[in-house]
Structure 1
């Protein structure tokens, strides 16, 4: 809702342009959805709402009281109360960019002048001020003017409220939060040595890559990352190994791999969804799911092997969320699957071509995808809603690196691990 005027001034606190923001706008900050990692929120507007204003509602659980997080790092330009905005926060991100968070349930958790990082708690969702129900009203501004909000490099899709011309307002959009921190990727080189890379969330800039001095000691076939310091790797002999990472600061050091399953692990693809399920595709195209009951599993902690179905002839495969997988085919299709159980799944074709050049597919979740090409380039994508089975909201965000990714296997640390 629009803010009321400040007493005696005729000017809304929301409309005061800070001197630091009143300059030629710089590059757009790497805004993320202002909610917890992997949360799905509904974004909408209505006639008279002022085009780029967005109201946000949770799609699961209650909206009231949910944490509101900073979309990008910045300085608190204002934290307080206004009769229209209620309890609200305005952040100055520099370069003429601001973001606003209205109708918080109580006094903001930050103070005017405070420096905040991306993902820092600002307050909680409420309905204070000129508001008729619990929601977050969010805006992004460039040189003091409202603009279409972007999240994780993708446009929100909210651009018009349908007034006063009577044109249709922007349709409701659902989006998943990638306000999750940096992306962490493990790999295995052709000589069996491990690599560890960090990629900055939002920008896609590779921050570092380090590698191990020693090889694994067996010939790896498929790789899944359980968490920051635990990998599962199959061998060409059909065994499953657990690799405990000791450090990945300036190099990768690991304990001697433990063989936790002997024989039968002929998976050509392997990925962990971050929610307790390990998925694999074996040499005859069967998709299998296992329950992982420990963060440092032995063979007894990888149980309930379930055959989901056959015909999963995928060139690449990764998990993108709880019981969701993503894969490419030899003819270039990008496919998404929701796994329900044995013999039960639904699928959607996100792209019908052009992905045949991808030799690896990696995702930490939250709609963030990476594809590696045969020439060693790593490219970044965002899917505004990875759980809708549609590619209409899939956006390419450019290259992390044009070349240099020579690993034989790649796997990301799941955001929710």
Structure 2
């Protein structure tokens, strides 16, 4: 090697694979000697059944250096033209405060967070999660919230199974609002099919379907995918009268200015915390949330942070109600989805702390005002706005030319929702 090595020589001196696979050639030799094999191939032949091995070599391109790979990846990423997302459906543009981005999202002490089974070394993380639970409880109007879930769709599916656990006498189908987020409807249907639960997707404008027949529960979207804000009280009362429980899927930012579902009788509230400072990330990941009414606490999936006292009598945070944890109950666990997106739940909790109640309401008011100004401009331009009562999302008539409108908007850097050939959806954000 010369006095001034080239990049290729440096890559050859310490290749990427050697930095990221811990075993050195000497380590491999020692391992094989201890195990009684003369080569890695012989070890694999003994360890991996032939029936699940691929005989052919992988058809892969020639390897490149780490620097070349990074440059190629940057070039690919640079080809993205995301535009301004105004599609809605539970995904909204948001501003991540710089202090949260730098000190949480980019800080390894946070982003490597795992379930804090050892509370004595996890007090800061547990306090952040308790803040998340407190924010969710305050906004949804229910006393107990868990320390995040995978996303909104799976949270709704978890709620469907929770209402059946929480009310063993419940019978009949689980009714889903036709104005629920489409991805939520799909996830609920998939989970229900695997568990043998009947799901009915229905337009709830005229109440619950099925006359007076029992139902196990109902899922109402608040506000709906169309943007409409419906008063869920009649549906909540109807499902209670027919022996079921009420689940409301709610937008957290909207809840800073709308009446809370818990105050209107909801038994379970679910949703996403994405728009509390969590970037869109090209579709995910984003943390879900769930809160429940009194009496349903022990049926909550995931984790719950509680406040105790230490040996000196000082407040101390710990995981509570651990009997429902996956690592203890396994097949009897309330959920087998282990990912809780805890880093993003922490970001959402810090966003709420950073802005405070007044700041969150100001953001929500501004978001609604953008939608109101847009609705008035469209109406003055002769466009029929189909959504009368809305928070941030409008459904707009474009007879026969919805695809044309969406394409034209995309050319201008705006991503709108193609509802059908006659309808366009548009959603505002902070």
TM-score by length of 1: 0.25
Q: Which has the higher strand share?
A: 1
Q: Which has the higher helix share?
A: 2
TM-score by length of 2: 0.24
